[in-house]
């Protein structure tokens, strides 16, 4: 292997995997080769599980307040290397530097919340449930856990799970996306400085073979996943069939309703950021704007102007507001779906296909795109595009808009823009989605709230972050005990 080839991190050491199958990692804006990532085989997962299983025996016995001291130290290292990590995200993922910094801020926030594990893991205690009988509920760790990560947020999403898993006393194996492995490589270089007991945290690079090995290994007790809905369903089904806990975040088609009383300037600015931020490659990106009544003409004109004026380029260049999509394949898929929308009858009001970005002509760029009058029952209204494409649908009433939202197969996020409290309450009460925004374009929960999701957007019960993560990574034990007075007199 060359010095540009990545390694796995197993049992506290960097390990060259037993494979010659290497995948190039390239900058999606410049097409510069950044590294080569190994596509590990199942045997590498076995080595990681052996290390994690051995480490769990002692790690679970470490007091919670001592476990979180490692997280306090990790937080400081993440802050010290904050800008370097953000720059790496931009280089391998394509988003702007500001977006990468925002991503890393959310990662740090999750570490901060997990530092509260000594309180978050507390159980319940009830004395004298009967004469001389007490009852206690305690939380204990599961064992070996695994995280399967997506490409779009390589710095943030692993931290929805990882700090909570180890803070609760579990050991953990992380599989980053093979498309963007460098961010997690750098994070594990920081983890290597923590002097964690070997085997508590492990990193295995790879693709589907590694995923399947994780899902099938009997010693792995729980799996966390974020990705597309078809793969989320696959991961959940296979993990559950093998008796594992699973929390699997899937795709989305996030609708936003704009009422006539919404503040036009604010709504347009927020919606442009939601639809086109991260080049639309986030599970909380606005994908469909449903204008109600008189909002149709004013919002359509305003959002089209915002789309046309957005500055697109390399995310490390000053002034750039939107970067690339992840790959040539993604670009081709997005452009094909834009064409499909036109074939279904939508008007391509702003066409972002095949742009020429000076200096980056070979980059994987798609400019912001607006599809007007998208057929509500058409394919394009139901398909997750995962690119900077916003569809516009017009309806006459909020009741019709909510009904359309609820007919969708996904339930990740839904938002409403209005100045009416009554409309806002009706919306948040009736709409079928896990994350709700009122005059918010990206309803991303803070780290102390769960990252919710309904319907085809989530498979499982307990979500990532906060209390849900603590519950997912622990199992409860109820103890009912009686002590007789005559026994106590013998001591």
Domain assignment present for 116 = yes
Which of 93, 149, 168, 283 is labelled catalytic? 283
Do 471 and 350 lie in a common domain?
no
Residue ranges making up the domain that contains 405:
254-438
Would you say the C-alpha torsion 214, 278, 431, 110 has a positive or negative sign? positive
253-285 in b/e burial notation, b at 16+ Cβ within 10 A? bbbbbbbbebebeebbebbbbbbbbbbbbbbbb
Domain assignment present for 443 = no
CA 273 – CA 446 distance, rounded (Å) = 18
Whether 1 has a pLDDT exceeding 80, the answer reads: no
CA 436 – CA 428 distance, rounded (Å) = 7
Tokens, residue 311: 């500055």
Q: Residue 214: what pLDDT?
A: 98
CA 343 – CA 491 distance, rounded (Å) = 86
CA 344 – CA 66 distance, rounded (Å) = 59
Do 239 and 331 lie in a common domain?
no
Domain assignment present for 446 = no
Residue 193 maps to which CATH number? 3.40.605.10
Token pair 């801020």: residue = 105
283 catalytic residue (yes or no)? yes
Tokens, residue 347: 């008007």
Q: What is the DSSP letter of 467?
A: H
Q: What tens digit of pLDDT does each residue of 406-419 get?
A: 999 999 999 999 99
Do 241 and 259 lie in a common domain?
no
Do 100 and 123 lie in a common domain?
yes
Q: Residue 444: what pLDDT?
A: 96
Q: What is the DSSP letter of 99?
A: H
Q: How many independent structural domains does the chain possess?
A: 2
Residue 340, H or E segment: helix 328-343
Whether 216 has a pLDDT exceeding 70, the answer reads: yes
Q: Residue 72: what pLDDT?
A: 98
Do residues 111 and 78 touch, judged by C-beta distance below 8 A? yes
Do 143 and 292 lie in a common domain?
no
Burial of 483: CB neighbours in 10 Å, binned 0-12, 13-18, 19+: exposed
Domain assignment present for 486 = no
Which spans in 349-442 are helix H? 379-382, 398-407, 421-430
Q: Residue 338: what pLDDT?
A: 98
Q: What tens digit of pLDDT does each residue of 47-105 get?
A: 999 999 999 999 999 999 999 999 999 999 999 999 999 999 999 999 999 999 999 99
User: Residue 110: which region, alpha, beta or left (left: phi > 0; alpha: psi -120 to 50)?
Assistant: alpha
User: DSSP string of 33-57?
Assistant: EEEEEE---HHHHHHHHHHHHHHHH
User: DSSP string of 55-81?
Assistant: HHHHHTTS-HHHHHHHHHHHHHHHHHT
Tokens, residue 60: 């679970």
Averaged pLDDT of the chain: 96
Do 226 and 276 lie in a common domain?
no
Q: Residue 131: what pLDDT?
A: 84
Whether 487 has a pLDDT exceeding 90, the answer reads: no
Q: What tens digit of pLDDT does each residue of 333-364 get?
A: 999 999 999 999 999 999 999 999 999 999 99
Q: Residue 485: what pLDDT?
A: 66
Instruction: Give me the helix-helix angle, 64-80 and 182-191, nearest 10°.
Output: 130
Domain assignment present for 465 = yes
In three-state secondary structure terms, 158 is: helix
Domain assignment present for 124 = yes
CA 239 – CA 214 distance, rounded (Å) = 9
Rg (CA), the chain: 24
Do 316 and 418 lie in a common domain?
yes
Q: What tens digit of pLDDT does each residue of 123-165 get?
A: 888 888 888 899 999 999 999 999 999 999 999 999 999 999 9
Q: What tens digit of pLDDT does each residue of 260-272 get?
A: 999 999 999 999 9
Whether 490 has a pLDDT exceeding 60, the answer reads: no
Q: What tens digit of pLDDT does each residue of 316-332 get?
A: 999 999 999 999 999 99
Do 246 and 291 lie in a common domain?
no
Average pLDDT over residues 442-452: 96
CA 175 – CA 17 distance, rounded (Å) = 14
Domain assignment present for 311 = yes
| Cβ count within 10 A of residue 60 | 16
As beta bridge partners, residue 480 has 135
Domain assignment present for 3 = no
Q: What tens digit of pLDDT does each residue of 190-210 get?
A: 999 999 999 999 999 999 999
Q: What tens digit of pLDDT does each residue of 357-405 get?
A: 999 999 999 999 999 999 999 999 999 999 999 999 999 999 999 999 9
Do 295 and 392 lie in a common domain?
yes
Which spans in 363-488 are helix H? 379-382, 398-407, 421-430, 466-472, 485-488
Do 240 and 266 lie in a common domain?
no
Whether 2 has a pLDDT exceeding 70, the answer reads: no
CA 219 – CA 234 distance, rounded (Å) = 20
Do 196 and 70 lie in a common domain?
yes
Do 61 and 179 lie in a common domain?
yes
Residue 278 maps to which CATH number? 3.40.309.10
In three-state secondary structure terms, 416 is: strand
């Amino acid at each position: 292997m060359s010095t540009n080839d990545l390694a796995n991190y197993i049992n506290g050491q960097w390990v060259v995997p037993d494979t010659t199958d290497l995948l190039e990692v390239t900058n999606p804006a410049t097409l510069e080769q950044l590294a080569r990532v190994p596509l590990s085989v199942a045997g590498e997962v076995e080595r990681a599980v052996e290390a994690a299983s051995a480490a769990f025996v002692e790690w679970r016995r470490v007091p919670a307040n001592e476990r979180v001291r490692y997280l306090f130290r990790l937080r400081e290292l993440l802050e010290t290397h904050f800008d370097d990590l953000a720059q790496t995200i931009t280089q391998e993922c394509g988003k702007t530097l500001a977006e990468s910094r925002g991503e890393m801020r959310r990662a740090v926030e999750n570490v901060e919340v997990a530092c509260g594990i000594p309180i978050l893991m507390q159980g319940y205690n009830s004395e004298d449930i009967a004469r001389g009988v007490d009852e206690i509920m305690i939380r204990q760790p599961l064992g070996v856990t695994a995280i399967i990560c997506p490409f779009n947020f390589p710095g943030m999403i692993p931290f929805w799970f990882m700090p909570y898993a180890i803070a609760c006393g579990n050991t953990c194996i992380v599989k980053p996306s093979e498309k963007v492995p460098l961010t997690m490589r750098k994070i594990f270089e920081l983890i290597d400085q923590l002097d964690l007991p070997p085997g508590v945290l492990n990193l295995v690079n790879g693709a589907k073979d590694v995923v399947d090995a994780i899902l099938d290994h009997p010693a792995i007790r729980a799996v966390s996943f974020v990705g597309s809905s078809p793969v989320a369903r696959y991961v959940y089904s296979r993990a559950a069939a093998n008796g594992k806990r699973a929390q699997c975040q899937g795709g989305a088609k996030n609708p936003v309703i704009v009422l006539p009383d919404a503040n036009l300037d604010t709504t347009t600015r927020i919606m442009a950021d939601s639809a086109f931020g991260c080049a639309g490659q986030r599970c909380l990106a606005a994908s469909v704007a449903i204008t109600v009544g008189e909002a149709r003409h004013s919002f359509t004109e305003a959002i089209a102007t915002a789309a046309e004026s957005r500055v697109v380029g390399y995310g490390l260049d000053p002034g750039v507001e939107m970067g690339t999509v992840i790959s040539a394949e993604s670009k081709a898929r997005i452009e094909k779906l834009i064409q499909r929308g036109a074939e279904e009858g939508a008007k391509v009001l702003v066409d972002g296909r095949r742009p020429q970005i000076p200096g980056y002509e070979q980059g994987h760029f798609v400019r912001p795109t607006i599809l007007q009058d998208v057929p509500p029952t058409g394919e394009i209204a139901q398909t997750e595009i995962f690119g900077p494409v916003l569809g516009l649908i017009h309806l006459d009433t909020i009741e019709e808009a909510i009904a359309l939202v609820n007919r969708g197969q996904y339930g990740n996020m839904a938002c409403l823009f209005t100045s009416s409290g009554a409309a806002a309450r009706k919306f948040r009460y009736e709409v079928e989605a896990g994350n709700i925004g009122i005059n918010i374009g990206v309803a991303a929960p803070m780290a102390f709230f769960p990252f919710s999701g309904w319907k085809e957007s989530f498979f499982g019960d307990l979500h990532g972050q906060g209390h849900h993560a603590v519950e997912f990574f622990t199992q409860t034990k109820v103890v009912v005990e009686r002590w007789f007075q005559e026994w106590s007199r013998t001591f």
